[in-house]
Amino acid sequence: MLDQIFGVPFTLVSFLIALSVVVFVHEFGHFFVARRCGVRCETFSVGFGPELFGYTDKHGTRWKFSIIPLGGYVRMFGEAETMHAIEGGSDKESDGDQKEATEPQVRELTEDEKKVSFKHKTLRQKSAIVFAGPAVNLIFAIAVFWAMFMMVGRPVTEPVIGLVAEGSAAEEAGLMPEDRILSIDGSDIDRFEDIQTIVQLGNGAPMDLTIERDSTQLNINLTPKPIDGMDPFGNAQRQFRIGIGASGQTRLIDLGPVSALGVAFGQTYEIIEGTAIALGQIISGERGTEDLGGPIKIAKYSGQAAKTGIAGFILFMAILSINLGIINLFPVPLLDGGHLLFYAIEAVRGRPLSDHAQEWGMRFGLALVVALMVFVTWNDIVNF
Residues that are catalytic: 27
Q: Is 12 helix (H, G, I), strand (E, B) or coil?
A: helix
C-alpha–C-alpha distance, residues 175 and 159, integer Å: 13
174 phi/psi in degrees, rounded to 5 = 95, 15
What contacts 300, CB < 8 A, 6 or more positions away? 11, 233, 235, 384
From the CB of residue 117, how many other CB atoms can be counted at a distance below 10 Å?
21
| H helix runs in 192-256, sequence order | 192-202
Continuous segment of H or E residues that includes residue 8: helix 2-36
229 within 8 A of 240, measured Cβ to Cβ: no
In 3D space, the residue among 319, 337, 341 whose CA is nearest the CA of residue 327 turns out to be 337
C-alpha–C-alpha distance, residues 324 and 337, integer Å: 12
C-alpha–C-alpha distance, residues 157 and 252, integer Å: 9
